[in-house]
Amino acid sequence: MKLVTAIIQPHRLEEVKRELYAAEINLITVSEALGHGRQLGVDEFYRGVKETGNLLRKIRVDIAVNEPFVDRAIAAIIKGARTGKIGDGKIFVTELQRCIRIRTGEEGPQSIG
Amino acid sequence: MGAEQGINAGDTAWVMISAGLVMLMTPALAFFYGGMVRRKNILSILMKCFACLGMVLILWALYGYSLAFGHGNGFIGSLEWVGLRGVGAAPNPDYSSTIPHAAFMIFQAMFAVITPAVVIGSLVERIKFSSFLVFVALWVTSVYIPVAHMVWSPDGWLRGLGALDFAGGCVVEINCGVAGLVTALVLGKRQGLTRPTLHNLPLVVLGGGLLWFGWLGFNAGSALAANGVAVNAFVTTNLSAAAAACSWAAVEWLVTGKPTMFGTVSGVVAGLVAITPACGFVAPMAAICIGLVAGGLSFFAVSVIKQKLGYDDSLDAFGVHGIGGFWGMVATGIFGTVSVNAAGTDGLLAGNPVFLRTEFVAALVTVAYCAAVTFVIAVVVDKWLGLRVSAEEEIMGLDITQHYERAYTMLE
């Protein structure tokens, strides 16, 4: 079991969801995030005072998957999120120790999907 | 003191208060619209509305009022009152002999402010701010001012035809709705829209509620006196808004299964729009009919026609103001009666079908003139300065890219 975490551009979320559904991955958690990579945020002005490097809005997508779905999830996210420009984001894949379905108490790979 | 002879304190106080109420409508509209866009673009809406207040009020004082209401030909006024020269405490009997000329001028100024502000609804989330300012200056000068003159000045040729527009069905509503549609077509659609953009419905409802409040000054203030006609306009305005709120919600309930808050507040605005040309000429029961039709008609325009044709009149300036304003002019021709206003005209139901035809012609002329001139302005500004922001700026949002600020923070 793996946890696939992607940080993407907010306006690509709909595309990413569509690609994930097309890859038969229907279980996702989406949260709002702030951050920046190499583009170092944005400048804002308040009554003439400049604030540099404010954090950019991003979307964080978390998907827990069994092994056969890991590469499919990554491919779907890349297909949906890539614009080729700076700021497209990152995907992190981490080992998932345990997964428990709260309703039934099931544990392990069958509890993910 | 001689200059102030004939001034009526009650009339003057009511028109000044009404000017304040109409002024409030532009910030109200800003929130009504602002809640409907994605949160990365709300400040760009508020900013454009305040830009209309800032810029159009000054244009109005410099030359706008004179060109709209000065003595000229059938199409446009003159420069006699440039810089408000001669517009002071003495009344101008062409418009009202019981209030200072300057009170009429500032009341009308607020109408010139809110009309281009309504157009913003069609252009949101993609228009470049600098180009918008140029567009508004050109549009107020060559569309709003001539239409106001044609309809409201004693010299105006539509007024000469016998057309009546109590508070701006042609001048404000049809004008802004058609301008919105035409400019939206020149601008093109927003990119990558897959879902409604609404981000804060309570702001929309707050704005809609304040619009209703302000509209009481807009319509009843247009009597330019604290008299029976003003009270009739006050009554009909409330009834039409109420009826349209009910009818939009009811149609929605039938079609989609549930009535929504967004639909109800949209109905309120549709009802206010439709009663605008009629409010001083029709009776209360007619106002309920006008509102009931307006709610259903605008619902149909934005949820069926717009979806079928696929144009991006983003916040439905055309669907609500254009369609509702046209219906209001036609309704004035149907329900008009001299029993509520001796200066009015009997309409179709009072046995005078000619008045219906006149109102229809005035509405059509406004549509044609506004569409043609707005198209030219939009294309010229687009070729000259570019109407749209870049694709990257559109994605980042207009608040950050046009104004270097953001409305909401996520962290402290």
User: Of A14, A45, A85, which has the smallest distance from its Cβ to B405's Cβ?
Assistant: A45
Structure tokens at B280: 């001083």
Question: Could you write out the DSSP letters of every residue in B82-119?
Answer: GGGTT-SSS-BTTTBSSS-HHHHHHHHHHHHHHHHHHH
Asked if the structure places residue A29 within a domain, the reply is yes
Give the rounded percent of residues in chain B with a pLDDT score beyond 70: 99
B31-86 pLDDT, tens digit per residue, is 999 999 999 999 999 999 999 999 999 999 999 999 999 999 999 999 999 999 99
Q: pLDDT tens, B350-360?
A: 999 999 999 99
User: Is the Cβ of B400 closer than 8 Å to some Cβ of chain A?
Assistant: yes
The amino acid that residue B277 corresponds to is: P
pTM of the predicted model, to two decimals? 0.93
Range of the domain at A62: 2-94
- Judged by a CB distance cut-off of 8 A, whether residue B342 touches chain A is no
Report CA A54 to chain centroid distance, whole Å: 21
Please check whether residue A103 lies inside any domain of the structure: no
Cβ contact B112:B56 at 8 Å: yes
B159-174: pLDDT as tens digits: 999 999 999 999 999 9
Interchain contact, B404 vs A43, CB within 8 Å: yes
- Answer yes or no: is pLDDT of A113 > 80: no
What are the chain A neighbours of B411 within 8 Å (beta carbons)? 34, 55
Considering only CB atoms, B400 lies closest to which of A9, A14, A42, namely: A42
Tokens read off for B397? 């949002």
Handedness of CA B389, B391, B393, B396 (dihedral sign): positive
pLDDT for position A41: 78
pLDDT digits (tens, 9 = 90+) for B119-177: 999 999 999 999 999 999 999 999 999 999 999 999 999 999 999 999 999 999 999 99
Helix extents (H) in chain A:
13-22, 67-81
A25-29, B13-17, B195-199: least confident range = B195-199
Domain count, chain A: 1
Q: Tell me if chain B has a CB within 8 Å of the CB of A71.
A: no
Contact A81, A15 (CB under 8 A): yes
Cα B11 from Cα B222, distance rounded (Å): 11
Instruction: Tell me how far apart the alpha carbons of residues B334 and B280 are, in angstroms, rounded to a whole number.
Output: 14
pLDDT of residue A45: 86
Cα–Cα distances (Å) from B233 to B246, B257, B280, in that order, read 20, 34, 5
Partners of A94 in the β-ladder:
A3
Q: Which residue has the higher pLDDT, A85 or B274?
A: B274
What residues of B are in contact with residue A55 (Cβ under 8 Å)? 411
SS3 (DSSP) at B28: helix
Smallest Cβ distance to A44: which of B392, B405, B411? Answer: B405
Distance of alpha carbon B131 from the chain centroid: 21
pLDDT score at A48: 83
pLDDT at residue number A37:
83
Architecture of domain B7-189+198-403: Orthogonal Bundle (1.10)
Residue B378, pLDDT > 50, answer: yes
pLDDT, residue B285, reads 98
> Is the CB of A46 inside 8 Å of chain B's CB atoms?
yes
> pLDDT-derived band of residue B1, with 50, 70 and 90 as boundaries?
very low
Average pLDDT score over residue span A58-87: 95
Residue B3 has pLDDT above 80, yes or no: no
**Nearest Cα to B249, choosing from B313, B192, B298?**
B298
Is A110 domain-assigned?
A: no
ipTM passes above 0.95: no
Closest C-alpha among B227, B201, B258 to residue B39: B201
Q: Give the tokens for residue B59.
A: 């244009």
Residue B4 is predicted with a pLDDT of 61
pLDDT of residue B307: 86
Nearest by CB to A11, from B395, B404, B410: name it.
B395
Across the interface, whether the CB atoms of A54 and B405 are under 8 A apart is answered no
Q: Is residue A105 part of a domain?
A: no
CATH of residue A83: 3.30.70.120
The structural domains of chain B, with segments of one domain joined by +, span 7-189+198-403
Residues 6+ apart with CB under 8 A from B217: B17, B18, B19, B20, B21, B22
Share of chain B above pLDDT 90, in %: 93
- In angstroms, the Cα distances linking B280 to B12, B227, B250, B380 are 18, 11, 27, 39
pLDDT at B310 over 90: no
- The pLDDT, as a whole number, for residue A2 is 95
